[in-house]
Amino acid sequence: MPLTPTDDIIRPARTANTGVGAFNVVQIEHAEAIVTGAERAGLPVILQISENTARYHGSLAPIAVASLAIAASASVPVAVHLDHAESIELVHEAVNLGFTSVMFDASTLPYSANVAATRTVTDHCHRAGVWVEAELGEVGGKDGAHAPGVRTDPDEARAFAAATAVDALAVAVGSSHAMLTRNAELDLGLIGRLKDVLDVPLVLHGSSGVDDADLAKAVAAGMTKVNISTHLNKLFTRTVRERLEALPDVADPRKYLGPARDAVADEVARLLNVLAGR
């Protein structure tokens, strides 16, 4: 089916108080696995490409064009989202390439500077019909730059959303980026308070550090978009390592990347069902 606008996936989920999985693409196998998992679950999904991944590939276009093509060929709704972009130029490129949403991250800036930069991005993206996510509260762990104990203030979040006209807000509620263990302690009460004061969907970053039970509780409390990356990367890498150990003479990368892709597809399907409350 055609590429799906991000709002067409997020809005119904927020109304139904269910969650949507947003999974990061590092290489083409990730995009293939994520879409295959969504098709198995019969649920919509969001493919995310970060600024770090664009840098890894040398530019945004190669991995973006591949992901957009895979999304457009899916049998379930798939959106393609730019994740953690700090460069306004990269945001403009993503819009021109056909991304359905962007996440502009100015969370390390002082509040007033974050508002000003984010509003500039929002104005540009909305003119192109592109949905915008921003971050307030400096979700911990990204490149070791943020304190994991930071929490988003509900009153500040309401003012920020109004001033920037964003379509969704990533908030700091206890999760942390790049966690290798699933033992983050979420502030479910804060999630509920944020939901009550905001008219836009809430986004949970650092969800790889949250176990299944707490993911479900976070969605019930008010989270809609749930970002997961490190958890899938761990599974992908572990599967590759196991295949290489089992086949020490293997030369064909399809022999170890294929099983890793299949393992990620299975986990995406499982996680989507968790977030959907099935």
Is 122 part of a structural domain of the chain?
A: yes
Would you say residue 177 lies in a domain?
A: yes
Q: Is residue 44 part of a domain?
A: yes
Structural domain span for residue 66: 6-275
- Structure confidence at residue 117 (pLDDT): 94
Q: Which among 256, 261, 252 is positioned nearest to 242, based on CA atoms?
A: 256
> 148 pLDDT exceeds 60?
no
Residue 266 domain flag: yes
Q: How many CB atoms sit inside 10 A of residue 127's CB? A: 9
Kindly report the three-state secondary structure assignment for every residue of the chain.
Answer: CCCCCHHHHHHHHHHHCCCEEEEECCCHHHHHHHHHHHHHHCCCEEEEEEHHHHHHHCCCHHHHHHHHHHHHCCCCCEEEEEEEECCHHHHHHHHHHCCCEEEECCCCCCHHHHHHHHHHHHHHHHHCCCEEEEEECCCECHHHCCCCCCCCCHHHHHHHHHHHCCCEEEECCCCECCCCCCCCCCCHHHHHHHHHHCCCCEEECCHHHCCHHHHHHHHHHCEEEEEECHHHHHHHHHHHHHHHHHCCCCCCCHHHHHHHHHHHHHHHHHHHHHHCCC
pLDDT at 139 over 90: no
Number of domains forming the structure of the chain: 1
What's the CA gap between 207 and 21, in Å, rounded? Answer: 10
Percent of the chain with pLDDT over 90: 74
Mean pLDDT of the chain: 90
More confident residue, 209 or 234: 234
Is the residue at 27 inside a domain?
yes
Please write the tens of the pLDDT for every residue from 207-229.
Answer: 766 778 889 999 999 999 999 99
Average of per-residue pLDDT across 118-124: 97
Name the token pair of 242. 């196991």
**Assigned domain for 194 exists:** yes
> Average pLDDT for residues 125-152, to the nearest whole number?
70
Q: Which single residue is written with the structure tokens 């999974």?
A: 23
Lowest mean pLDDT of 60-64, 86-90, 147-151, 152-156, name the range.
147-151
Among 7, 8, 83, 262, the active-site one is 83
Q: In the annotation, is 83 catalytic?
A: yes
Task: Quickly state the pLDDT bin for 263 (edges 50, 70, 90).
Answer: very high
Read off the pLDDT of residues 48-77 as tens digits, 9 standing for 90 and up: 999 999 999 999 999 999 999 999 999 999
Does residue 1 fall inside a structural domain?
A: no
Provide the pLDDT for residue 108: 79
Residue bearing the bigger pLDDT, 83 or 180:
83
pLDDT of residue 142: 46
Q: For residue 146, what pLDDT is reported? A: 39
For residue 114, the domain's CATH number is: 3.20.20.70
For residue 252, the one-letter residue type is: D
- pTM for this predicted structure: 0.92
Can you give the pLDDT at residue 182? 57
